[in-house]
Amino acid sequence: MDCFEISFLFFIAATLLSPQDLVRVNGPSSPIQRLPNTLSISIKGLNSSLLLARLSDKLAASAGAACHSGHDGKVPVVSSVLSAMGVSTEWATGTLRLSVGRHSVEEDVERAAALILQEAKAQGVPIKN
């Protein structure tokens, strides 16, 4: 991954971050300690599974972590990966894992950020971007 692809991920994060502390980037705070093409974000109040279902024909992303645990009956279960990163159930239910590849272009990232913001607002998350 080159610096251009890394900057895509930070563009998404910057676009989604809001002053209401509703969005957080999961994992190490240093970009050097992260995978260069992958970003894990949590949006408080978002149902990431619902977002993915509604946007499945427009957005390729994953809910939770690569080892996502899903639900135990009616109660969401936080994956061991998210638990190890200190992500609570409240945040884990709104976690999205986003990646870019060698064929990703800036417009793809801008569109993904806009779609995520639009769906978050549709779910009642008070993001003001």
Catalytic positions: 67
Which residues in 92-119 are b (16+ Cβ under 10 Å) and which e?
Answer: bbbbbbbbbeeebeeeebeebbebbbeb
Exposed, middle or buried by CB within 10 Å (0-12, 13-18, 19+), for 120? buried
**Is the separation of the CB atoms in 91 and 42 below 8 Å?**
yes
